[in-house]
Amino acid sequence: VTGSESPLTYRDAGVDVDAADRFVAAIAPLVRATHTEGVVGHPSRFAGLIRADVGGMGDPLIAATCDGVGTKVLLARSEGDFEALGRDLVAMNVNDLLPVGARPILFLDYLAVGRLDSERLVQVVRGAAAACREAGCALLGGETAEMPDLYRPGEFDLAGFAVGVVDGERLPDPASAGPGDAVVALSSTGVHANGLSLARRALFERAGFELDDVIPVLDATLGATLLTPTAIYVDDALGLMDAVAVKAAAHVTGGGLLGRAGAMLSGGLTVRIDPDTYARPPIFDLIASAGDVGDDEMAATFNMGLGFLGVVSAGDAAAAEEMGWLHVGEVVTGEPRVDLGYARR
């Protein structure tokens, strides 16, 4: 069948197993530095093992979530950019554990690449490992898939998975919220990792900006602004939950501030957010202007400057503010929609 052609190898097929081994060796110390006390070693390398600290919990539950960073990967060019993406990947996942009050214990990454560019991927893992340390979770494993026929050279995708633990007796209970409760929030660092497809269309295709353009109102390049990693809210969110009763919470991701705030409560309750209570990062108005994007579309796509929301009793709002939270609005009765009060400025 094969005629005079040379024997085919896995490497001929675009998969460099030796490069993969070198990559694994390069990231090993980064990964080990994230290993918390609970991590259990085992010579079998198929799965990571960790002993969850659930002492004192009346009803220990496991929380699990999965997320990627979307088309934000298309913006990365420098080493620092790739490190930022790794940090984003962890942040997007561990933050998703917080609305139920779960403390992150482990994270796994899935790196899909066309060709294994070890330097870039090591930067991704470096950023992920640093973020895991900040979030207090172990980077317990992951998968790096080299798929030359699925991804073009230089193309790649990132997905992550996080697991946390929470006491089932202490889950936030949105049904306990009522009119007059306070809505508190944590600032976002920018667009985080949602809405990038729309942002790129508006800024680069419609308005003709380039990544290296320095935008005066941003006081930075567009690339640096868009690639600012997602904030990690673990300490702030769990700290507030330890201090006061948080009735509902939301990580402001897909669906934007409108979608996530709108889904936080039910039963005829909604939230009203006063846009004058916080400084909206200028990148959002730049995107809106560049793409002539409507207010509702902006609010249904982007976090608009608020990355995490919580609902607490009005009497607890001051305590939240002392802990660094913004008091941005209140719970009101009404149709389950959100009036963000945005007028184009």
Binding to a copy of itself (CB under 8 A): which residues in 246-285? 248-251, 253, 255, 263-264, 266
- Token output for 10: 């896995």
Q: Which part of the chain contacts a copy of itself (CB under 8 A), choosing from 29-37, 220-228, 290-298, 324-332?
A: 290-298
Residue of 10, 18, 56, 216 that binds a copy of itself (CB under 8 A) = 10
Distance CA 156, CA 284 (A): 27
Query: Which of 293, 306, 309, 340: binder of a copy of itself (CB under 8 A)?
Result: 293
The one among 174, 275, 281, 329 contacting a copy of itself by CB under 8 A:
174
Instruction: Identify which of residues 217 and 274 has a Cβ nearer to a copy of itself in the complex.
Output: 217
Backbone angles phi, psi at 251, to 5 degrees: -90, 120
Compare residues 3 and 29 and give the one whose CB is closer to a copy of itself.
3
Backbone dihedral angles phi then psi of residue 6, each to the nearest 5 degrees:
-75, 160
**What are the CA-CA distances from residue 308 to residues 228, 304, 311 (Å)?**
16, 11, 11
**12 or 321, CB closer to a copy of itself?**
12
Q: x/- site string to a copy of itself, residues 218 to 237, per CB under 8 A?
A: --------------------
Q: How many CB atoms lie within 10 A of CB 336?
A: 14
Name the segment binding a copy of itself (CB under 8 A); options: 184-192, 201-209, 216-224, 236-244.
201-209
Q: Which of 114, 151, 156 is nearest to 15 (CA)?
A: 114
Site for a copy of itself in 30-69 (CB under 8 A): 40, 42-52, 59-68
Q: CA 207 to CA 205: how far, in whole Å?
A: 6
The rounded distance, in Å, linking the Cα atoms of 24 and 118 is 9
Question: Is residue 307 close enough to count as binding a copy of itself by CB under 8 A?
Answer: no
Binding of residue 7 to a copy of itself (CB under 8 A): yes
Q: Which of 18, 149, 276, 335 binds a copy of itself (CB under 8 A)?
A: 149
Looking at beta carbons only, is 208 or 276 nearer to a copy of itself?
Answer: 208
Q: Residues near 153 by Cβ (< 8 Å), separated by ≥ 6?
A: 114, 115
Question: Which lies closer to a copy of itself via its Cβ, residue 19 or residue 171?
Answer: 171
Give the separation between CA 14 and CA 11, rounded to whole angstroms.
5
In the complex with a copy of itself, which residue's Cβ is closer, 9 or 276?
9
Q: H or E element: which one contains 109?
A: strand 103-113
Q: Is the dihedral of CA 187, 190, 196, 199 positive or negative?
A: positive
Minimum gap (Å) between residue 219 Cβ and a copy of itself? 19
Q: Which span sits near a copy of itself by CB under 8 A: 26-34, 224-232, 289-297, 336-344?
A: 289-297
Whichever of 159 and 231 has its CB closer to a copy of itself, that residue is 159
Please state whether 51 falls in left (phi above 0), alpha (psi between -120 and 50) or beta: beta
Residue from the set 15, 245, 323, 332 that interacts with a copy of itself by CB under 8 A:
15
Indicate the SS3 state at residue 310.
Answer: strand
22 scored as a contact of a copy of itself (CB under 8 A): no
